[in-house]
Structure 1
Amino acid sequence: MSTTDHTGAPDRTGAPEGTAGAGRADATDGTAGAGRAGAMRAYRPALRPGVRVSPPLLRGPRTVHLVKHPVSGAAFEVGTKEHFVLGLLDGTRDMDDVVSAYAARFRRRLSEEQWTRLLGLLGARGLLAGSPDPAPPAPPPARTGTFWKGSRRTVADAHATTGRLYRALRPLLRPWAQIPLVAAVVVMVAALAADPGALLDGTLELLTRPLLLVPFAVFLWCSVCLHELAHGVAARHYGGVVTEIGLRWRFPAMMMYCTVDNYLFLPGLRAKLVVAAAGAYANLLLLLPLALWWALLDPADPVRPPLTGMLFVGIVQALSNLVPLPPLDGYRMLGHTLGAANLAPETRTYLALRRRGRDAVAAYPPRARRLYTGYAVTAASLVLLAAGGTCTAVVLLLLL
């Protein structure tokens, strides 16, 4: 803007081109421009503390990284080249250092115009050290939607609440406690799966006894609530930020939800997978007391069949969350494992383009083509399998 002002000065003064006045103005502009260029080359920028950068994510034909502001919470996408430059902004490198590293990495030079534009963009978004803090985001409304569909925040400070839960449960998150718990869950699932016929009989027995079915349905609803809290506790274990806990409904169903704000920025693949799987794992842990009771009962005890049905339904409810279909937890786990963002929408986009011909998907790298095609086949197979299994189970229950 200063350059524009200086350049426009001769016109405002009315000095014609070629006069001494114009020559002095041009000389002044050149000196100022050279000074600014020199200052820009000597500038050693650094990202502001707390800026989070995600691992590479495949999004359509592009590989991107997410950059998140520590105060406003706003996230921005950058490409692989911009990400490389961001990794060099530590306050010790000037423009020449960055240009040399960029040329060595990508076999092309980063122009001064590109450098200036990138720094201007980062500065405007408050991502550079010394940038003014933007206003923090306004808290979301306590309630959204209507009577038929909506959500309501029920915890004033979700992060503090999950923090207290995490501190209380932290001793149980250590290996000495988790290894036997995982082993108990595996034994429970294997013992139930060893007799498929008893599972079907037990489920039918449970469905025909309302006095057992109603309290068990309440138990499952509470299990879903703890499922969501387990996500928050696991996120706190890995340094995540829990921003909201509340109820979400679509009449007549109502479920609890827990929002982890920086889920994509958690350190390492293991952290993301553990946080995503924590809910299903908590559901299985809640079944262990019932499984112990079931194991101690005599096979001829009349309580055993409906208890078998409860365990079977509970295990199916927990493990179904690990199916890699949106919006289930297994879908998120698959996306993290593959390093792909918005896997289902991007798959639909790819298939729509592919129907137009090969040229329409020419920009997609081979890995993206294989990934989206493979997920389309997998998702379709899972949907057909689930539909077939559900129909088979309904028919068997009606015939028995």
Structure 2
Amino acid sequence: MATLADSLVSSSARRLALRKRPDLSAERQRYQGTIYWVVKEPVGLNYFRFHEEEYFILCQLDGNTSFDEIKRRFEKEFPPEKIRLEELQQFVGTLHRSGLVIADVPDQGPRLLKRRRERRRQEIIGALSNVLAFRFKGIDPERILNFLEPCFRWVFTRWAFTLWLMLALSAVSLILVQFDVFQSKLPTFYDFFTVKNAIWLAVVMGITKVIHEFGHGLSCKHYGGECHEMGVMLLVLTPCLYCNVSDSWMLPNKWHRVAIGAAGMYVEVFLASVATFLWWFSDSTTMFNQLCLSTMFVCSVSTVLLNGNPLLRYDGYYILSDVLEIPNLRQKASAILTRKLGEWCLGLEPPDDPFLPQRNQLMFAAYSIASVIYRWMVLFSILWFLNKMFEPYGLKAVGQVIAASAMYGLVVHPFVKLWQYFRVPGRLAQVKKLRLFVSACVVVTVVTGVLMLPLPYHVICTLEIKPREAHQVYVNVPGTLDEVFVESGQTVTPDEQLARLSDFELQRSVVELEGQEAVYNERIRTTEKHSHDDPDYRSKIGELQEELHTTREMLSQRRKNLSDLTLRAPVAGVVIPPPYQSEQPDDDGRLTGWYGTPLESRNRGATLAQRTLFCQIGDPTKWKAELVIDQADITFVEPGQRVEIMLEELPGEVLESTVSDVGSREIQYSSRSLSAKAGGDLATRTDPTGGERPLSASFPAMAPLDDSDGLLRPGLRGTGKIHAGTMTVGRRLYRAALRTFHFSL
């Protein structure tokens, strides 16, 4: 209870009922030649960096010292520096809000509870704005890491690093030296990102990220740090592990901190290198080969685009921060950019901030801009990837929900920060109106100019190669393929035999009908002989003749079917094989029917169903690309536009053509080979008849091709790029927004 004597003493001379928490630990470190103290708060695993002067003030808080006494001690310890009581009180308040001091006063519980709820609310908002990387706290892995560290200590030795470097360079050299072979071995997008492989891809990502995080944890233990938090993280909807190695900030050697930050990539590059060799030299049809490719993809892409890139707040960012000896690099770069924009655009005088880098501030501002742009690029790439994954299975709406959630962090949050910036009391009054007007005019002019800038527009579509002006030879009557008299590329004349099929049941039916015809003929002759003597026989003659007529019609049809079992050339020309048919396993995994083309000798004895395309007769130098145009782009496609055609089986080759015809009727059924289910790029659904219908309304277009080198064959699929004039940036963004947040334009 305060006494009368206490009330007569100024507030700054009274005992300050705040004391430093006894469980805090601190390490003295040097950043860019300046001494700092890194303080660890062990309960929340929070870390703070203080100048020597700030740390001195923290240490003076023992629950008995007044503000005046702390001020006197400070000025005695750090002459000729001076500190005002207002500054001291503000700093002590910051320490209290950070949870580094204990207040020996009543009614602290409600305040602490309110602070905790506010912090929890901010964490939830931050998590919801980053749905592609959602964390769930887990266990304290200290005991696990203490057990594993002696077993893997050798991994962080110099000779192990040398072997790692040689292995990585060997893997890269293998790909670069034989890059054409590397491209040909890679599957297409839809071949790789099938539902089945997506599951294995998620498993591989989860396992590699677990190993990645253990690399961080073990390296932290190896260099003397601690790790008290390991949990589950949903990374691009894939469950994996995360390991909190923030304790590395307590290490005085910055290269040890760099090694801890790079340990995860160190492990992933090793896995990617080993997987590269195993994938290269293993059978491409095996699951093992697919898993190796998935491992190589996950480890290399995540290292190059995400973890190793300092523009994102992952391993590369912390490595750069430690190398430059600038903690909180992004926040400081953003603060510098904000101050520069405020000075240039609003005329605001930036206050002195000793915590910000004083040199190369333009570079830090450029870093902040580059990091924002790159975050947008990565986010849109991930959203595009998820959209491509979900679209073939009718789950595009799921990708749109994720996109809408992810947009918060990049669109809404910056506007919230801008609003908070101008809410600072007195800031609007300091704004120079002329500079604000000029800046607004410049921004509007630049944005308008960019939005109105016309850029070349290309329509990207899937396509299939087909013969041009060729006659198709179909199997009209199903049967067993007995003989093939021609081969691919052979010149034939009209009505020349191409192949002969057989059907035992059809032959037996013809013999039976011929027998029935003979029986009816004999019965009619016998009946006519007796009709002169018996009137009853005369009435039966009409019935027998009607039955004979029916039998002869059936026999004529059967004989025609029997004749149709012999396939003949409808016109003169060259035999062109039909599209290649892949092996089709049944439910038990056994191969059924035939595969390849009916012209191949291995398919002798196979049963060909009705409407099976046996071959085509035409000119082997005349082909066409049948383009499948989405309804959103069909209005931009016109005859005469240039088309660049890239085929999967001719990597590196670009074929030139022009659009000759654009169809006005929607495609009802697409080629099975173009379907995403068969490795193509077209999202389709299978209807009850077994046909493949495009999920999105699509229209056909044709582009003629001449092939004097004999490179083309029916059924080749690829991608076409139609040069469809120009489109402004604004219209592109408008269309992209519509296609992202609506099902159709």
The aligned residue for residue 227 of structure 1 is 212
Distance 1:200 1:64, change over 3 A: farther
Report the residue type matching 1:361 in the other structure: P
Task: Map 1:111-150 onto structure 2 (within 5 A).
Answer: 125=100
Structure 2 residue aligned with 1:327 = 313
Distance change in 2, residues 1:114/1:169 (3 Å): same
CA gap of 1:70–1:212, structure 2 versus 1, over 3 A, is: closer
Match of 1:241, SS? Answer: coil
Q: Which residue of 1 aligns with 2:26?
A: 52
Distance 2:44 2:379 in 1: 44
CA 1:201–1:54 in structure 2 vs 1: closer, same or farther (change >3 Å)? Answer: farther
Q: Matched residue of 1:248: which SS?
A: strand
Identity of aligned residues (%): 18
Residues 158 and 243 in structure 1, CA contact (< 8 A), matched pair in contact too? yes
After superposition, the Cα gap between the structure-2 partners of 1:108 and 1:328, relative to the gap in structure 1 and judged at 3 Å, is closer
Q: How far has the Cα of 1:166 moved from its partner?
A: 1.5
1:199–1:309: 8 Å Cα contact kept in structure 2?
Answer: no
TM-aligned CA deviation for residue 49 of structure 1: 9.1
2:366 maps to which residue? 374
Q: Counterpart of 1:285?
A: 270
Q: Which residue of 2 aligns with 1:133?
A: none
Matching residue of 2:327: 341
Where 1:325 maps in the other structure, the secondary structure is coil
Specify the SS of the correspondent of 2:266: helix
* Deviation string, structure 1 residues 10-58 (Cα, Å, up to 9, x no partner): xxxxxxxxxxxxxxxxxxx9xxx9xx9xxxxxxxxx9979722364679
The amino acid of 2:316's aligned partner reads G
The answer for the alignment partner of 2:40 in structure 1 is 68
Shift of 1:279: 1.0
The change in CA–CA distance for 1:326 and 1:260 in structure 2 (over 3 A counts) is same
Aligned twin of 1:102 = 78
- Show the counterpart of 2:577: none
Which whole-Å deviations, capped at 9, do the CAs of 1:55-93 have from their partners, x for residues lacking one? 4679xxx997542246775544533533578899xxxxx
Q: Give the conservation status (yes or no) of the 8 Å contact 2:156–2:219.
A: no
SS at 1:357 equivalent: helix
Moved more, 118-127 or 227-236: 118-127
Match of 2:157 in 1: 174
Tell me, in whole angstroms, the C-alpha distance in 1 between the residues paired with 2:368 and 2:322. 17
Q: d(CA) in 2 for partners of 1:204 and 1:333?
A: 34
> Does the CA-based 8 Å contact 2:311-2:370 persist in structure 1?
no
Measured after TM superposition, the shift of residue 165 of structure 1 is: 2.0
Higher relative contact order (CA 8 A, sep 6+): 1
Deviations 1:89-128 (A, max 9, x none): xxxxxx999866622xxx446899999999999999569x
CA contact (8 A) 1:322 1:330 kept: yes
1:342, 1:191 → 2: CA distance? 39
Residue 310 and residue 230 in structure 1: after superposition, are their counterparts in 2 closer, same or farther (change >3 A)? closer
Q: Which structure carries more helix by proportion?
A: 1
- Inter-partner Cα distance in structure 1 for 2:41 and 2:82: 28
More strand by share: 2
Aligned partners of 1:54 and 1:264 also within 8 Å: no
Q: For residue 340 of structure 1, what is the amino acid of its counterpart?
A: I
Partner secondary structure for residue 355 of structure 1? helix
2:162 is aligned with 1:185: no
SS at match of 2:152: helix
Tell me which moved more, 364-373 or 318-327: 364-373
SS at match of 2:342: coil
Instruction: Give me the whole-angstrom Cα distance separating, in 2, the residues matched to 1:212 and 1:285.
Output: 22
Aligned length: 338
Matched, 1:237 2:222: yes
SS in 2 for 1:204: coil
Displacement after TM superposition at 1:213 (Å): 6.3
- Rg larger in 1 or in 2? 2
Q: Which amino acid aligns with 1:67?
A: V
Query: CA separation of 1:87/1:57 partners in 2, compared to 1, >3 Å: closer, same or farther?
Result: farther
Name the SS of the counterpart of 1:184 in structure 2: helix
Residues 73, 191 of structure 1: alpha-carbon distance in 2 compared, 3 angstrom cutoff:
same
Could you say if the C-alpha distance between residues 184 and 329 of structure 1 is closer, same or farther in structure 2, counting changes exceeding 3 Å? same
Q: Which structure 1 segments of 5+ residues have no match?
A: 10-28, 37-45, 89-94, 128-137
Whether the 8 Å CA contact 1:163–1:236 is kept in 2: the answer is: yes
Q: CA RMSD in A?
A: 5.3
Task: Confirm whether residue 361 of structure 1 aligns to residue 350 of structure 2.
Answer: yes
Task: Give how far 1:188 is off.
Answer: 1.6
Whether contact under 8 Å (2:204, 2:295) holds in the other structure is no
**3-state secondary structure, aligned to 2:149:** helix
CA separation in 1, counterparts of 2:279 and 2:153?
29
Shift of residue 153 of structure 1? 3.9
Determine if the alignment matches structure 1 residue 162 to structure 2 residue 136: no
| Preserved CA contact (<8 Å) 2:135 2:234 | yes
Give the alignment of 1:291-306 within 5 angstroms.
291-294=276-279
Tell whether the 8 Å contact from 1:53 to 1:67 is kept in structure 2 after alignment: yes
Offset of residue 154 of structure 1: 4.2
Matched, 1:351 2:337: yes
Contact 2:35 2:52 in 1 (8 A): yes
Q: CA deviation at 1:322?
A: 0.3
User: What SS does the aligned partner of 1:168 have?
Assistant: coil
Report if the CA contact (8 A) 1:67-1:75 is conserved. yes
Distance across 1 between alignment mates of 2:181 and 2:215: 31
Show CA shifts across 1:166-202 (max 9, x none). Answer: 1221233333333212321232233324444444433
Distance 1:101 1:116, change over 3 A: same
Letter in 1 for 2:187: L
- Of 240, 247, 254 in structure 1, the residue corresponding to residue 232 of structure 2 is 247
Deviation at 1:330? 0.9
Return the letter of the residue paired with 2:78. Answer: Y
Partner of 1:271: 256
- 1:324 Cα deviation from its structure 2 partner: 1.0
CA distance in 2, matches of 1:354, 1:110: 28
CA–CA distance in structure 2, aligned partners of residues 158 and 342 of structure 1:
26
Q: Are 1:151 and 1:248, in contact at CA under 8 Å, matched by a contact in 2?
A: yes
Offset at residue 344 of structure 1 (A): 2.6
Q: Distance in 1 between matches of 2:73 and 2:301?
A: 57
Q: SS state of the match for residue 151, structure 2? A: helix
Contact 2:21 2:100 in 1 (8 A): no
Cross-structure match for 1:259: 244
Residue number in structure 2 paired with 1:82:
54
Secondary structure of the structure 2 residue equivalent to 1:161: helix
Cα 1:381/1:165, change in 2 over 3 Å = same
Greater shift, 176-185 or 269-278, is seen at 176-185
In the aligned structure 2, how far is the partner of 1:380 from the partner of 1:7?
55
For the 8 Å contact 1:151–1:249, the answer to whether it is kept is yes
Checking the alignment, whether the CA contact within 8 Å between 2:25 and 2:39 is kept in structure 1 is yes
